[in-house]
Amino acid sequence: MLQVRMKYGAEGYGIYFMLLERLRDEDDYKSVKDYNAIAFDLRVDASIIKAVVEDFGLFVFTDDGKYFYSEGFNKRMAFKDEKSKRRSEAGKKGAQKRWANKDPRENDSNSMAKPSDQNSNTKAMPLHTDSKESKVNKSKVNKSKVNKSNKDSHDSKPAKRVYDPDDINLKLANYLLTKIRERNSSIYPTDSKNPPDTQKWANDIRLMHERDARSYDDIKRIIEWCQQDSFWQNNILSASKLRKQFGKLIDKADAPNNFNGNKGGRKPLYDLPY
């Protein structure tokens, strides 16, 4: 970092940490080696990006040379992810332990007190009582039963949703995959042993529509737009990334001066693939 600062000053220092911020948002904390696209995003010169990445030993490349990453940053993120995982697991175990120890108390308000042989003054409790203590105990028993019922319902895992070939969510997931392959067939080769999980992609598409209130027309339109844009085509390589960046994508696609020649704002809607 001292060498970076000596050559490029505060600009180089800032670029390094902006690159780390970009890596934090990428899958596996790796970035596509596209200096022009990164320079456009950071609004700096591409030659400085290239120098910071390649000339100072701050980053390393994957074997195929398509991606770069920071070993030190990955170690820190691995420690952070492991710490978060341990906290999550500890929280689940603690919750399970609390539920296991929380048995309903046996409070039978209908049972009669038996007089003691040693205390003849003991009075028998009435069969039915409306006392405040009886109502409280009865409420606790009912609440315990409700809590136990809720626990049982949470313990049963819902079945994983499977999308049929005719489902619009799966069609749009396959449409995104097709567009990526048309642009660069080496990203997801058709003969790959580990093809992308389009069922998971379809679920991300569904969440975009149901939770994020994105129309299927807009989703298809932005799929086409991002795979034509010189910057976003290398960053949107999955449905989860499409969902994460959708707000930025639609703003840029609908901008009057976007780089796909759309001078009048929104592009016309195309027929959906169904």
In a domain, 83, yes or no: no
Domain boundary among 69, 90, 123: 69
Domain boundary among 35, 69, 103: 69
In a domain, 112, yes or no: no
For CA atoms 172, 175, 179, 185, give the dihedral sign.
positive
**Total domains present in the chain:** 2
What tokens appear for 105 in the block?
Answer: 């108390």
In a domain, 203, yes or no: yes
In a domain, 156, yes or no: no
Series of mean pLDDT values for 10-residue runs along the chain (274 residues): 92 93 88 92 93 94 93 88 82 78 55 49 50 58 59 59 93 95 90 90 94 94 94 93 94 75 44 51
In a domain, 261, yes or no: no
Single-letter residue type at 197: D
In a domain, 148, yes or no: no
In a domain, 179, yes or no: yes
pLDDT at 37: 92
Domain boundary among 69, 98, 114: 69
Q: Give the bridge partners for 31, in sequence order.
A: 68
Per-residue b or e along 76-85, where b marks 16 or more CB atoms closer than 10 Å to that residue's CB:
ebeeeeeeee
Q: Within a 13 Å sphere around the CA of 168, how many CA atoms are in the beta-carbon half? A: 13
pLDDT at 102: 64
pLDDT at 154: 53
Cβ neighbours of residue 20 under 8 Å, at least 6 residues apart?
A: 70, 73
pLDDT at 134: 57
Domain residue limits at 222: 168-253
In a domain, 182, yes or no: yes
